[in-house]
Structure 1
Amino acid sequence: MTAPSASSATPTGGSRPDGAPSSTLAVLKGHGTQNDFVLVDDRAGDLDLTPELVRALADRRAGVGGDGVIRLVASRALPEGAASLVEDPRAVWFMDYRNADGSVAEMCGNGVRVVARLAEHVGAWDGSGELVLGTRAGVRRVRRVTDPTGRGADWYAVDMGPWHLPGGAGAVEAGGDAEVTVRGLDVVRPGLSVDLGNPHTVLVLADAGELARADLSVAPDVVPEPPRGTNVELVVPLGERTEADGGLTGVVRMRVHERGVGETRSCGTGACAAALAVRTWAGAGAPDVWTVEVPGGTVRVRVLDGGHVELAGPAVLVAEAVVDLEALPR
């Protein structure tokens, strides 16, 4: 791989001297709390992003490597994008997200922040006001925010849209609506389903030792099995802290197994699901703001009015490259 200039980054990479189409693809690599992605600036909608190409690009040994592949594309170029434009005509750009196994995914909370950073980088957004993005889970609105850690990172906050508990009040009263078996843990645990446009199952553990013992190299067994599969979050509540303004912030630590990927260093929608589940279990008086510690860093989850939830965290671009498509695994 060789580094291109930002202005030369095109999905097809130009042509060979004999006039035939080039077999290269310009990509970028980025991450949000180490949930990493291969990024493609395809605003013209020229790229045929097949499952085979996604798997090859995401391959960590023979490709670029990533938890998924995200294409920034014009909303008008996709049927799903047309629906986004109906929801909000400002959603001219669409986040086309694929899991590492090539499957299509509805949304990714870390990924949408990284796409916002990509849009800034390529000049599709100037970083002011809101970036309105189409996704398969509905329109998402992103804005720049101050890094609360004081480290000077590029932080972005995303209104993740509405969330709900598929099992309703009955699941809350019962402590969950699923039974989850995790390799390395000796008993079946109750899990609570949380939907953020994509499915999650959250189970609480007693302490950090249990969290460390869990083997997420294989997918946890969830019964009943959700029709679209599910991401599974293992959470340890760490209590609450009082902020300088007197407000309370809840703190949880999390690991996650993402459907179609495996264990990842972070999951944005999973962090929201974890905070929302613990807040639900805690009952009246629980904080509306949560810090979620993941192996790849820290994100902030805030419960908004109207049944929405906000996710804030860093987004980093680490490289630009030109990929030789003929050298990718087949």
Structure 2
Amino acid sequence: MTGTPSPAAAERVASLHVTKGHGTENDFVLLDDRDGALDLSGPLVRALADRHAGVGGDGVIRLIESSRVPEGAAVLAADPSARWFMDYRNADGSVAEMCGNGVRVFAAYLERLGLWDPFGGELAVGTRAGVRWVRRIPAAGVSSADDVPWYAVDMGPWSLLGGPRAIEAGYDAEVAVVGLAEVRPALGVDVGNPHTVLALAGQAELDAADLTRAPVVVPVPPHGTNVELVVPLGEGTGPDGVVVGRVRMRVHERGVGETRSCGTGACAAALAVRAWAGDGAPDVWLVEVPGGTVRVSVLPGGHVELAGPAVLVADADVALAALGA
């Protein structure tokens, strides 16, 4: 049994079986609670995610049947095949709508457990941002670890929070980042969760930013925001003749701090740079993050796709008493 046991079972359960995984070094603790028997409390999430006294991770992902969570009704109405729900929690214990790297790792976890055959078709995953569809694809040849499986996720609809006026102005928010000399204009992007993207002049500014402290965003987003700092790197032509844009990014995730990667943040960064570039900008972008590279593709119908690796690195049994949660 995994997670926090019910009071009746507390005396019988001494350990917690977990799996550790990451997508471009955005790392997670995964729990198998498919029958919904567990109470995944904030203190337990924080204890598991603690990098000194726990397993360590940017978040905790619980596998549970969609029918066993309140948000599952909407998920199953949208796609009855979305049997499995990705219950994602930030490292501070707060609940999050979605995680682009996390959903790829979740798909790899379901594959490991025998709950999804990637050669049998797409996987429909329930999330608090709606259904996400995942397929396994060949590695894109953008890293040294090309033997690691890649997963492509239809991340659903996206939008620029400020609408046409923000596109015309080029921004709809201002962000103060420790280490940067002045307040910067930024663009709000919704990819199922909120993001604020600001462009920097080059690598020196990207290196100078101190993301150990949360950037200050004005106006203050009602539910918080992830903040991406991006450096556009131009465009090139891929082997298939498709024009591909490139950006480099660092991110401060709400409820976590700076992470090595953020999947929804990579989507937001590419979409913001594409908006700034105007008509004729590429629909495919490679986004470089400290933990590797992911690919973002703008799809027909107002959707965006995220593709990248997912790695399961360890299984462990954690002593519940030692967690102190």
TM-score, normalization by structure 2: 0.96
| Contact 2:63/2:87 (<8 A) preserved | yes
SS at match of 1:105: coil
Cα distance between partner residues in 1 of 2:272 and 2:100: 17
Equivalent in 75, 86, 95 of residue 104 of structure 1: 95
Aligned residue number for residue 214 of structure 1: 209
> Deviations along 1:130-184, whole A, 9 cap, x unmatched?
0101000000000000101172111000000000011011111112100100000
Aligned residue number for residue 280 of structure 1: 275
Distance in 1 of aligned mates of 2:298 and 2:99: 18
Alpha-carbon deviation of 1:44?
1.2
Paired residue total: 317
**Which amino acid counterpart does residue 310 of structure 1 have in structure 2?**
E
Do 1:231 and 1:256's aligned partners in 2 also have CA atoms closer than 8 Å? Answer: yes
Q: Structure 1 residues 12 and 252 mapped into 2: Cα distance closer, same or farther (>3 Å)?
A: closer
Distance 1:310 1:236 in 2: 21
Select which of 238, 257, 260 maps to 2:255.
260
Gaps of 5+ in 1: 1-9
Q: What corresponds to 1:194 in structure 2?
A: 189
Which of 141, 146, 155 matches 2:150? 155
Alignment of 1:24-103 (within 5 A): 24-103=15-94
Partner of 1:292: 287
Name the aligned partner's letter for residue 299 of structure 1: V
- Specify the alignment match of 1:242 in structure 2: 237
Contact 1:63 1:329 in 2 (8 A): no
The secondary structure found in structure 2 opposite 1:79 is: coil
Q: What code does the residue aligned with 2:139 have?
A: D
Contact 1:13–1:24, Cα closer than 8 Å, also in 2:
no
1:245 to partner: Cα distance: 2.2
User: Partner amino acid for 1:26?
Assistant: H
Deviation, structure 1 residue 12? 6.4
Identity of aligned residues (%): 70
- Helix, strand or coil: the match of 2:192? coil
Q: Does the Cα contact within 8 Å between 2:82 and 2:131 map onto a contact in 1? A: yes
Report the Cα distance in structure 1 between the residues aligned to 2:247 and 2:92, rounded to whole angstroms. Answer: 29
In the other structure, the counterpart of 2:301 is 306
Q: Does 1:142 align with 2:134?
A: yes
* Alignment match of 2:322 (pick from 302, 319, 327): 327
Aligned-residue CA RMSD in angstroms?
Answer: 1.3
Q: What TM-score results when the alignment is normalised by the length of structure 1? A: 0.94
Which residue type is aligned with residue 41 of structure 1?
D
**Cα pair 1:12 1:22 within 8 Å, conserved:** no
Residue in 2 aligned with 1:4? none
1:225 pairs with 2:216: no
